[in-house]
Amino acid sequence: MKSWKEQLRGIKTALRGAGGNKKGGDKKPSAVEFEPPESWSTGNRLIPKGGGGSRKDADSDRITPPKANDRNIASKHRSDPTSRNSDQRSTISGTVGSSDNKPSLRSDRAAPPIFKPLVNGGSSLVMPEWSAAGRSLQHPEHQGERSPPMTVRVGVDFGTAFTKVAIRAGADLVPVEWSEVTGDDSETGRYIVPGFVVRSPDGEYCWQRIKGSDIQGNLKLSVIKKAKSDECPISTVAYLALVIRYARAFLYRNTEVGRKLAGRSLRWELNIGCPTEPHEKPEVVDMFRRIARTAWRLATRINLQESDIKAAWVADESDTGLETEPGVVPEFVAHIAGYLASPQVKEGLHALIDIGAATLDVATFNVVLQNEQTSPPRIPIFFSAVRPLGTHYLHYNRHSKLDLELSWNDAAPVESAGEFGERNGKASEDVIAVDGEFAEQIERCVTGVIDGTRINSRGDPRSRAWREGLPIFVTGGGSSCDLYRQAMVAVEAELKLRVEKRSGSSRHFRFIELSPTFGSARRIDTGGRLTVALGLTEDAENIARVVPHRDIGPITYGTKASVDHSDLYGD
């Protein structure tokens, strides 16, 4: 695909009737391709690259790297992801079967199958009896308003693959554990619940698998895709209602916090995370907010019948029992909430790479601190991308390319190539070759976002980060996986070369990895899985003020006026 600069140059050439004559001053197009989104255009006029003026607030637009070679994760696949046939030989990495055993990276490569988390061989989830207490908005032993009310804020990290929840009750921070639902009490698995819900033959939604029931997955991305529709996302609402009910009951059972809640009237707030790229669309934010408040209201019901869910969606009552409307917060902002509130926070360009089970989310942004200490930081977004390159698809890539049964546990840590090969009877070099193909896609995605920020006026090409080092957060459940870490090393090396080629010096460019969590959150060791949920327990209005690309212009730099020697020193 040609860059938008090449496309524009071609149009001008055609209009002039210049044929194949090119000016000697034309530069070779950048290796990173961009196709400007609609928001860059006003009528038929492209927004100019920049001009005079001063740099204010270091704000800038964000553009989205092209999607021509990356199909939506929710695209339909001809085969069932749980069956084995020839269709599954084509995955997001490309088409298998080239002479050198490398995938052909063509624009028409097959989309990955619809995501459904694989956990413990598909075992059933169980809602414990004590979770019924979560139907109430007050502690089961509530004794009336003897003390001032307490604000309780629930942070729901609604993931494509897994959901994580944390609750802030006054000064206490409680991560919700799901072991009694999933049966997984491991360090990596106890804080996550897989993203699917069961619909029984009579239309009731639950977690218990029943004969003849239908398992509903892909609950998050399907909603984003249909954000403009008024259709009720029944499965998604039911799933979040179960999550909310259990989370409230878990809080009541907490030994240390529960006794404090009994003597207080609880006032609830709810924040839910949203991917960076979709958060740019108001209809997506509105959809997430409506889903959250409907699920909160339905969490008080004994049963979740399909007809009742539809009726609640249509009614969309404002009285939900929440103190305020649910907050819909970009996930990358929730990731760095602790950092933004810490003494370590610095202004300027930053990047975040969130490695989830289903998706890889990359974003570049500025941190702009306000003069008033009480005002939250401004976060102008530059570039962002969400791609189906999470650990689930790493597993899928390995199993499908190496002719293995499509069975694994998405909740478990990812094995190294050597460990995977030894356990499955495959040569280590074969696993490494397959992983290399997958890693190349990761590298292209991350490099495209970061280098786009460097070379495009809609990014921050003059940031000191290109000279002194780019602060970067690498987080998510897959952040400790060797393959992703090695991909980040490759990206850093590639960017170092590009910076050197453009500026002639790259001695000081490097990734400066930062911890997204500070304060009380640092004492909760969850391997990075709970970072977003913990950040979402903060007041949504006080985390940061996100400035989307549609509301701001590109960074511009004024020209320094020359000062006459006599003006400075006199005659």
Q: Which residues, in sequence order, are bridge partners of residue 154?
A: 167, 270
Sign of CA dihedral 405, 409, 410, 412: negative
In degrees and rounded to multiples of 5, residue 151 shows phi and psi of: -85, 130
pLDDT of residue 65: 36
Give yes or no for a contact between 87 and 78, defined as CB atoms under 8 angstroms apart: yes
Between 212 and 487, name the one with better pLDDT.
487
What's the residue count for the chain?
571
pLDDT of residue 556: 56
Q: What is the DSSP string of 137-195?
A: SS-TT---SSS--EEEEEEEEE-SSEEEEEEEETTEEEEPP-HHHHS--STTTTT-EES
pLDDT of residue 34: 31
Average pLDDT, the chain: 76
* Domain-embedded: residue 205: yes
pLDDT of residue 213: 79
pLDDT of residue 105: 31
Between 413 and 144, name the one with better pLDDT.
413
Of the candidates 158, 164, 168, the one whose C-alpha atom is nearest the C-alpha of residue 181 is 164
pLDDT of residue 126: 86
* Domain-embedded: residue 551: no
pLDDT of residue 79: 32
Please state whether the predicted TM-score (pTM) of the whole model is above 0.75.
no
pLDDT tier at 547, thresholds 50, 70, 90: confident
Between 79 and 390, name the one with better pLDDT.
390
Task: State the Cα–Cα distance between residues 212 and 222, nearest whole angstrom.
Answer: 24
How many domains does one find in the chain?
1
pLDDT tier at 504, thresholds 50, 70, 90: low
pLDDT of residue 440: 96
pLDDT tens for 328-339 read 998 888 888 888
* Domain-embedded: residue 19: no
pLDDT tens for 233-275 read 999 999 999 999 999 999 999 988 988 888 888 999 999 998 8
* Domain-embedded: residue 142: yes
Domain that residue 153 falls in = 120-331
Using the predicted structure, report yes or no on whether residue 564 has a pLDDT greater than 70: no
Three-state DSSP class for residue 424: helix
pLDDT tens for 511-535 read 999 887 655 444 455 556 788 899 9
Q: Which two tokens stand for residue 159?
A: 């993931």
* Domain-embedded: residue 237: yes
pLDDT of residue 505: 60
pLDDT of residue 458: 80
Using the predicted structure, report yes or no on whether residue 490 has a pLDDT greater than 90: yes
* Domain-embedded: residue 439: no
Out of 43-47, 212-216, 438-442, 459-463, the most confident range is: 438-442
Give the mean model confidence (pLDDT) for residues 535-552.
Answer: 77
Using the predicted structure, report yes or no on whether residue 91 has a pLDDT greater than 70: no
* Domain-embedded: residue 18: no
pLDDT of residue 284: 92
Long-range pairs for 340-345: beta carbons < 8 A, 24 or more residues apart: 340/367, 340/376, 340/377, 340/543, 340/544, 341/518, 341/519, 341/538, 342/518, 342/519, 344/514, 344/518, 345/369, 345/377
pLDDT tier at 443, thresholds 50, 70, 90: very high
pLDDT tier at 364, thresholds 50, 70, 90: very high
* Domain-embedded: residue 50: no
Between 9 and 198, name the one with better pLDDT.
198
Give the mean model confidence (pLDDT) for residues 69-91.
Answer: 31
pLDDT of residue 479: 86
Name 548's Cβ contacts closer than 8 Å, sequence gap at least 6: 62, 279, 280, 381
Task: State the Cα–Cα distance between residues 354 and 478, nearest whole angstrom.
Answer: 8
pLDDT tens for 409-432 read 887 889 999 999 999 999 999 999
